[in-house]
Structure 1
């Protein structure tokens, strides 16, 4: 953990196992008596990725590993507790001003994106990043993911098409939605204001559309309205009810509790807890001891997933990746606590150069890798290991180094997808 952990003054009041305040701008900051942030050189003027020093960054810089645990309580994943979670529905940081329009859709098939995970990672260097969460969504179609990987090689396209999207949201300590005091974490915490009405089918995106018959349920899209109708709402809709639900009454009734979601295809929800990699190597992970899954099943699943990565190419990259991951095979996320860190790539082919990582859409600043998502996550979600099933080698998430405040509330960041079977895609 970094010194950034004192979010609300006394760091002892904050949860000890969540991904809180992990980002450090530079390890040299601790040696600066004046506390000034050491400026980083612009990415574009640095040497290309072939530098020997760059190759060693991932080994030198600290890494926090993310593990999954079942939520300890029904209220522990509410948005007012600023959770890091995987699966289920998002705990929106700003519960009103969601991404909208085509932002919430897969750019290939047009389906609403499914929530993958969110990481709570506040920064102490700026007042505006007192609360800061990164949200990752993706299309569940492997066909779309293959197209995504192909299109990401197109440098600076006029309009990028993606099936994996990342959004960054940040708030100052004094804001309209939450208390400025630390949460009590005992089930009594409540948000300051109610959030927007969510889709009754996915529980993820804003429910801007209402069922024309019963007016009791709301949807983010016609696709989800159709899916709900076919799955049983056609019968429920014609049953008597007390009164139509208006947007005003629904808004007042919606609290921070996780709403009931009609879709059966939402991934199961877990909390993400963290442990420094150096510590994880010398101790058995606490969540793993709680029998989330049996050790033998984890080992078999990870072996099965990782074996698919070896498709020729550079065996050195594969061997390094396999050795590093095997130290803690139940990890699902690697969080990099320095902007100098590089992802741990499974394969040498399919890696981006610095020029392949686009600049921030809002301030034109450089982006750095903040974390990467490992395919072990799919095992916990119950995704079958079939040829057409969703799968990836790794997903690296790059965010604005300045964590800028410009423009929209939810700023879209960048995810680089490396696939096991398609990593040799030609640019």
Structure 2
């Protein structure tokens, strides 16, 4: 995004850039090939073409401070709670739920990916959510093959949100990132339990706790809000019976309310209550994944680094020796396309093994598939449900992310080979703020260990 990239303060936002398609029209016409996933004869050509596309890699690190991931700084991040781009018109209804088990989806990650060629995409972020149940994910793998008029039930969903430079929520000037930046408008109340979805349900007693679902309301009540709610109701009674509060402002009333809560909590809290509140905090922390900031680097930098390393006279294995070994390994896999794809995938990922995301939004870009089987054909990628136009590959999420989320390697633990996101090629405008795009999940269950 050219306007934002002018300030040094936005250097960290320059990752995940959209490759310009009009820099060299003649060259683009020669390089672009149609998507033909279902033609096995073109697999080699597709791999060669995909390697020529510039790819941005996403890596994770703990945020330097709590402010760096706030929504008005337009972060790319994983885990925690989403930094909603449009903080008011959030997804609602069944779009927030796993279509298979009906539970609210957990926030997986978001990618800030503006497109400079359009005014309406000055700000643009993609949000990915998924159900933490492996059983639902396995069912999702079968559901995604359904084509219209059948409606698939999904446990992984992605939403696209975009805003023009002039909008009600943010300044038209780049953020300074010095602690003084603030959003132009407030956001909607979020669920007190998950902090993710719009809290359109309110506790009938205290009228202060908001929830996205009945389940989260019950969980919040059982793990601490029952006691908290009583204190809030008592504080309200104190204000209602005190005539001196009649002329206080909303701000003063809130400050007084907080002081009453603190005083009463200190008065009534005993050892049992302390344990209950600690248990509540522990359970709530398990309802979201650990939060990380996503740092982006060009994959080409790792090609250079590997070339320099292999050229070192002290290197134990030369570049030629590595190539010969891989060729020999791949030759043993002929007749087994999955093993061959896995070996090629491992070789490519091995250049930067800590990457958790691969980004390349281009009409000719292809995902880096770990397996030959389980890939979608062109017909399996549905048209945009808002404009009817084609969708294109934008990024894929690698299973390395599960390591950062401390997911155990158990039989029923969450696992995947690749989660691939396809978005509207035109990044169309529509009345709805969060437009649901398409996700393809390739499972790792059929991958065998490479000898």
User: Shorter-normalised TM-score: what interval?
Assistant: 0.7 to 0.9
TM-score (norm 2): 0.78
In the alignment, the residues of structure 1 paired with residue 149 and residue 357 of structure 2 have an alpha-carbon distance, to the nearest angstrom, of: 29
Counterpart check, 1:395 vs 2:419: yes
TM-score (norm 1): 0.82
Shift of 1:55: 2.9
Query: Is 1:108–1:144's contact at 8 Å kept on the other side of the alignment?
Result: yes
Partner of 1:189: 181
Shift of 1:264: 1.6
CA RMSD after TM alignment? 2.9
**SS where residue 17 of structure 2 aligns?**
coil
Counterpart check, 1:267 vs 2:271: no
Shift of 1:212: 1.2
In the alignment, the residues of structure 2 paired with residue 100 and residue 334 of structure 1 have an alpha-carbon distance, to the nearest angstrom, of: 29
Q: What do the CA deviations read for 1:242-278 (whole angstroms, capped 9, x no partner)? A: 349xxxx89xx9xxxxxx9972221111110100001
- 1:120 is matched with which residue: 99, 107, 112? 112
Shift of 1:315: 1.1
What are the ranges of 5 or more consecutive residues in structure 1 without an aligned counterpart?
254-259, 285-309
In the alignment, the residues of structure 2 paired with residue 47 and residue 149 of structure 1 have an alpha-carbon distance, to the nearest angstrom, of: 18
Partner of 2:348: 324
Partner of 1:6: 2
The alpha-carbon distance between structure 1 residues 262 and 407, as it changes in their structure 2 partners (threshold 3 A), is farther
Larger Rg: 2
Partner of 1:257: none
Partner of 1:132: 124
Within 5 Å, which residues of 2 pair with 1:23-62? 23-26=18-21, 29-32=22-25, 48=39, 50-51=41-42, 52-62=44-54
- 2:300 is matched with which residue: 278, 285, 294? 278
Partner of 1:234: 226
Q: What do the CA deviations read for 1:343-387 (whole angstroms, capped 9, x no partner)? A: 011111111111111110011111111000001101101111111
Q: Which moved more, 1:403-412 or 1:151-160?
A: 151-160
**SS where residue 239 of structure 1 aligns?**
helix
Q: What do the CA deviations read for 1:101-136 (whole angstroms, capped 9, x no partner)? A: 000000000000000000000001110000000000
Higher helix share: 2
In the alignment, the residues of structure 2 paired with residue 74 and residue 229 of structure 1 have an alpha-carbon distance, to the nearest angstrom, of: 28
The alpha-carbon distance between structure 1 residues 414 and 135, as it changes in their structure 2 partners (threshold 3 A), is same
In the alignment, the residues of structure 1 paired with residue 32 and residue 298 of structure 2 have an alpha-carbon distance, to the nearest angstrom, of: 27
Shift of 1:237: 1.9
In the alignment, the residues of structure 2 paired with residue 411 and residue 70 of structure 1 have an alpha-carbon distance, to the nearest angstrom, of: 29
In the alignment, the residues of structure 1 paired with residue 375 and residue 139 of structure 2 have an alpha-carbon distance, to the nearest angstrom, of: 16
In the alignment, the residues of structure 2 paired with residue 196 and residue 32 of structure 1 have an alpha-carbon distance, to the nearest angstrom, of: 44
Within 5 Å, which residues of 2 pair with 1:21-420? 22-26=17-21, 29-32=22-25, 48=39, 50-51=41-42, 52-240=44-232, 242-243=235-236, 263-265=284-286, 266-282=288-304, 314-420=338-444
What are the ranges of 5 or more consecutive residues in structure 2 without an aligned counterpart?
238-249, 255-280, 307-332
Shift of 1:12: 3.5
Query: Is 1:350–1:423's contact at 8 Å kept on the other side of the alignment?
Result: no
